[in-house]
Amino acid sequence: MRYAGRCHCGAIGFSYETHLPPREWQIRACQCAFCRAHGVLTTSDPAGSLTFHANDPEQLSRYRFALRIADFLLCRTCGVYVGASTTAANHRYGIINVNALEPRPAELPQPQQVSYATENASERIERRKERWTPLGGGI
């Protein structure tokens, strides 16, 4: 199945493909200050595919914080965080903010609270390589 998501104004978005039905998605509620402030719930599928796109590239903002090894993709106009991307071993991976899905599936499971505060950079990269969705073309 293919799922589409976007920021509120439509300047940036994504196409997420997974064979998992939404009721089987692993929904994560990261407990870092950034994710809590944005009300973010993320998911990914290592067997799926993900493409981020920008209808208005001028509105794409890439924000890096903490270990500075991932780009958090936000819209400059409406402020919505749509997902994140990282590069590891010459491969790109990403996650989506399920709150940016249009429409948001009704049958999503309850989110799991997660904290990655104790991970160092190499542990974080390895976790992302194992859990995040491979990125195709696009931004």
10 Å CB burial of residue 40 (0-12, 13-18, 19+) is buried
- Per-residue pLDDT of the chain in tens (139 residues, 90 and over written 9): 999 999 999 999 999 999 999 999 999 999 999 999 999 999 999 999 999 999 999 999 999 999 999 999 999 999 999 999 999 888 999 999 999 999 999 999 999 999 999 999 999 999 999 999 999 988 8
The pLDDT score that the predictor gives to residue 1 is: 96
User: CA-to-CA distance for 94 and 54, rounded, in angstroms?
Assistant: 15
User: CA-to-CA distance for 54 and 75, rounded, in angstroms?
Assistant: 9
How much is the CA Rg of the chain, to the nearest whole Å? 14
Pick the CATH number of 2-138 from 3.40.640.10, 2.170.150.70, 2.70.98.60, 3.10.129.10: 2.170.150.70
The pLDDT score that the predictor gives to residue 61 is: 97
Whether the predicted model's global pTM rises above the 0.85 cut: yes
The pLDDT score that the predictor gives to residue 138 is: 82
